A and B are shown apart, each in its own frame.
Chain A
Amino acid sequence: DQQVKQNSPSLSVQEGRISILNCDYTNSMFDYFLWYKKYPAEGPTFLISISSIKDKNEDGRFTVFLNKSAKHLSLHIVPSQPGDSAVYFCAASVDNAGNMLTFGGGTRLMVKP
């Protein structure tokens, strides 16, 4: 049973609009959450993270929101750009557990010019 789920395998948005990628988790022990971005033929690259003691973290065009009670987090990209087209993975970890990450299945974002 997947502990981290991304229920939308793909998302298409227009350039300049907002992209919202969602992620749900089941393990209440998770206390740190990350988003990774992956281009074809490359490894995932770290994008943004959030600790469970926060409900929002912002970095430029990227904002991650965490709703602990709902075990849900989301990544907002505003405004979306064609270069944002990639697969986005949500990941979670447990503190003091060797930084090991549990990943969701990924969402392919396509930003149309």
Chain B
Amino acid sequence: NAGVTQTPKFRVLKTGQSMTLLCAQDMNHEYMYWYRQDPGMGLRLIHYSVGEGTTAKGEVPDGYNVSRLKKQNFLLGLESAAPSQTSVYFCASSYSQANSPLHFGNGTRLTVT
């Protein structure tokens, strides 16, 4: 049982380049989330999904897009990367029952130069 798997683990981009971060979960969770972690600021929610085919904006959605075409996958896209998007990105998933804890992947460290 792999849990939540994120690919890639590391990536360096130049300003203006695009990329997609992939998140896959094998726990049959309904809800999925993308967070970014920056020093001293904890984790901030970028986008989330409460089911296949649905997405919604979180606290810091600008510059990112997401898609949830399959229940087990949640993709985070950066269309035109900026240095301000240098961060560690975490994907998480949870059951739909209220107060179900989030299960996190091990993160993707992205550097934009």
Contact = CB atoms under 8 A, between A and B. Distances in A.
Interface of A: 2, 4, 6, 9, 32, 34, 36, 41-46, 49, 51, 89, 93, 95-96, 98-106
A51 B106 CA distance: 27
A51 B99 contact: yes
Contacts of B103: 46
Contact of A44 (B56, B94, B104): B104
B107 A32 contact: no
Contact of A43 (B45, B48, B90, B94): B90
Contacts of B107: 41-43
A33 B43 CA distance: 15
B31 A99 contact: yes
Interface in B41-80: 41-45, 48, 50, 56, 58-59
A102 B43 CA distance: 8
Given A9-B40, A104-B42, A105-B40, A99 B99 contact: yes
Nearest to A6: B42
Sorted nearest first, the 6 A-B pairs with minimum C-beta distance are A43-B104, A103-B42, A46-B101, A103-B43, A105-B42, A99-B94
A106 to B, nearest CB: 6
A99 B102 contact: yes
